[in-house]
Amino acid sequence: MSTPPNKPGPRRSLDEPLAGAPTQGAEWEAHVAAELAGVSLAAPGDLGTDEWRTHAAEIMEWIARYLEKPEVHPVMSRAAPGSIAAQLPGAPPAQAEPLAAILADVDRIVVPGLTHWNHPGFFAYFANSASVPGILGEMLTSALNVNAMLWKTSPAATELEQVVMDWLRQLIGLGPGWFGMITDTASVSTFLALAAAREARPGLEIRERGMAGRGDLPALRVYTSEQAHTSVDKAAIALGLGHKNVVHVPVDGDFRMRPDALETLIAEDRARGMLPMAVVATVGTTSTASLDPVSEIAEISRAAGAWLHVDAAYGGSVAVVPELQGVLDGVELADSLVMNPHKWLFTPMDCSALWVRDPAVLRRAFALVPEYLVTREQDAVVNYMDYGIQLGRRFRALKLWMVLRAFGAEGLASRVRHQVALAQAFAGWVRAEPGWVVEAPVHFSLVCFRCQPAGMSDADADALNERVMAAVNATGEAYLSHTKLRGRYVLRLAIGNIRTDERHVRRAWELVRGATLGR
C-alpha cells in the first residue's frame, strides 16, 4: 500500500498513465484491495446539522433580503466576459474550505456576475420569477433528493406529478383524457412530442431500424410557422429528420401561421411523395406572442394524418385567467401540448408541463426496461422513465404543487391578469407618444415596440432603437430584449415577474424615452 488510510496519493493527470497499473478484472480488483487496505470503514460523512443550522439560517435571511429588494442589484450583469472565471482558482481545493468562506465568495464573485431574473425590472425574453412557495418547494426537493424515475423509487413523486399535472390541466381549461408529465424545458417537451409523432407511424419501424440508409422511407416533414421557436427545429435535427424537413410556414400580418399556406405546402409535399409527420402550432410565439389559429390548423393536420403539437410554452399560462382562456381554443384537438410553469406561472427554473392525448405512443417511443429496473407493480402504475429519454428525474412536481396550493386558482389568475393589464397600459403609453409604434398585437404580457421618428430612415431608426436598448440596459434598472420584425429592429418589453408592479413598468418607459432623447 502506497499511502496511509484515507489519505489519497497525489493526483495525476490521465495524460500520464501510471505505468503497469492494471485497468480491469481481477487484477484491478486486487489493485483496489491493496491500495485501500486499512481505510477506515467509518464514513467521513456530510457536514453536520449544526453547520446546516448556522448557514441555512444565514441563507434564509439572505434570500429574504434578496426577495424584498432584488433592485439593489443591477438587473443585467455588468460582468465582462471571462471576469468571473478570472476570480476563481483554476484547480479545485485539495482541502475542505469553511462554508462561511464559500458563501462570502458567492456574494463577492457570483452575485455580481448574475443577471437577476427575479428583479422586477427584468423585461427581457420572457420574464419569469421564482415565487416564495416555489423556492420553498425547490429547497425541499433538493433536501429530499428523490429520483422520480420509477413509481417505486418514490411513489409520492410520481403520484404528485400525476395529480399536479391534472390540476394544471383543469386550471388552463383543458378537457379530461390527457396524460401529463413534467420535463425540464419546453425544448425537451417538444422533442418528446415529436418523437411520439414519429412513433405514431409504427409502419415505418424507425424505433427498430433507424432512419439512416433507408431508401424505403419518405421524407418526414414537420410544419411550423416562420415565427416558431427554434426548439422545433432542434427536435427535428435531434430526431434525425433533417433540418431541411422542417417547413417554415409563412405568417400573416399579425405573425400567425397562415392555414391556407400550410394546406398548400402539405399538398405539395404529398405530391412529391413526402410524409407530413407533424404540425407544431404556437400559442404565444417567442418574438411577438402571436397566436396561431389552432382550430383551423388542427383540421388541416387531421386531414393530412399529421400529429398536432401545440407549443404554448409562454402563452399557456394566460389560460389560468378564466376570461382569457379562449387563447387555447382548438388545443383540445391537438395530440400534445406544452406550457412552461417556469416561464409565467411563478415556478422556479426548471419546470415544463407536457400533455399527450395517447400516452401509449410516447411509451412505445421510449419504454425500454432492463432487468434491474423491472418492478412487480409496473403494469399497474406509471413509471415516468418509460415516457422519455431520461432515467433519473427531478421531483419537480413538489414545487409546482406548492405554487398551485399557495396561490390557488384565483391567486394565479389575479397575478397573470395584473401583468396582462400592465402590458396593455404600457402599449397605451407607447401608442400615445408621437414617433413610437407598437409593432405587434398585444395578446399577453409582451409589448413589441419601436421608436420611428417621422422622416427617419428604417436603418437609422434601427440604430436608434439598438442604442436605446443598450442605454436602458446599462442603467441596471430595467432589462429589455429585442427582435426583428419585417426586417426592422424592434424592442420587446415582457412582463412576467411576480414582483413587477406599475412603477417598474412606468420607470422602464421613462428610461426608454430618456434614452431616446439622449438623457
* Chain positions contacting ligand PLP, by CB under 6 A: 126, 185-187, 229, 231, 282, 284-286, 311, 313-314, 340, 352
Q: In the complex, what is the shortest distance from the CB of residue 248 to ligand PLP, in angstroms, rounded to a whole number?
A: 14
User: Which segments of 25-87 are extended strands (E)?
Assistant: none
Give 121 or 316: the residue with its C-beta nearer to ligand PLP: 316
Q: In the complex, what is the shortest distance from the CB of residue 191 to ligand PLP, in angstroms, rounded to a whole number?
A: 9
Give 206 or 416: the residue with its C-beta nearer to ligand PLP: 416
Helix (H) or strand (E) holding 300: helix 294-304
Kindly state the cell numbers that stand for 500. Answer: 413587477
The answer to whether 336 and 314 are in contact (CB under 8 A) is: no
Give 204 or 399: the residue with its C-beta nearer to ligand PLP: 399
Give 313 or 398: the residue with its C-beta nearer to ligand PLP: 313
| Distance from the Cα of residue 518 to its chain's centroid | 36
Q: Is the backbone peptide bond immediately before 166 cis, with ω within 30 degrees of 0?
A: no
Give 126 or 509: the residue with its C-beta nearer to ligand PLP: 126
Q: In the complex, what is the shortest distance from the CB of residue 399 to ligand PLP, in angstroms, rounded to a whole number?
A: 15
Q: In the complex, what is the shortest distance from the CB of residue 186 to ligand PLP, in angstroms, rounded to a whole number?
A: 4
Of 333, 279, 287, 349, the closest CA to residue 311 belongs to 279
Q: In the complex, what is the shortest distance from the CB of residue 152 to ligand PLP, in angstroms, rounded to a whole number?
A: 29
Give 70 or 316: the residue with its C-beta nearer to ligand PLP: 316
- Helices 186-199, 230-238: axis angle to 10 degrees equals 50
Q: In the complex, what is the shortest distance from the CB of residue 375 to ligand PLP, in angstroms, rounded to a whole number?
A: 31
Please give the backbone phi and psi of residue 38, each rounded to the nearest 5 degrees, phi first. Answer: 90, -5
Give 164 or 338: the residue with its C-beta nearer to ligand PLP: 338
Q: Is 173 left (phi over 0), alpha (psi -120 to 50) or beta?
A: left
Please give the backbone phi and psi of residue 417, each rounded to the nearest 5 degrees, phi first. Answer: -60, -45
Q: Which residues of 372-383 are buried (b: 16+ CB within 10 A; e: fewer)?
A: ebeeeebeeebb
Q: In the complex, what is the shortest distance from the CB of residue 313 to ligand PLP, in angstroms, rounded to a whole number?
A: 4
Place of cell 450583469: 77
Q: What is the DSSP string of 153-178?
A: T-HHHHHHHHHHHHHHHHHTT--S--
Question: First-to-last CA distance in the chain?
Answer: 72
Q: In the complex, what is the shortest distance from the CB of residue 283 to ligand PLP, in angstroms, rounded to a whole number?
A: 8
Q: Distances in Å between the alpha carbon of 65 and those of 71, 76, 109, 434, 499?
A: 11, 19, 18, 41, 14
Give 150 or 354: the residue with its C-beta nearer to ligand PLP: 354
Q: In the complex, what is the shortest distance from the CB of residue 185 to ligand PLP, in angstroms, rounded to a whole number?
A: 3
Residues 6+ apart with CB under 8 A from 507: 121, 477, 478
Give 160 or 291: the residue with its C-beta nearer to ligand PLP: 291
Kindly state the cell numbers that stand for 446. Answer: 409582451
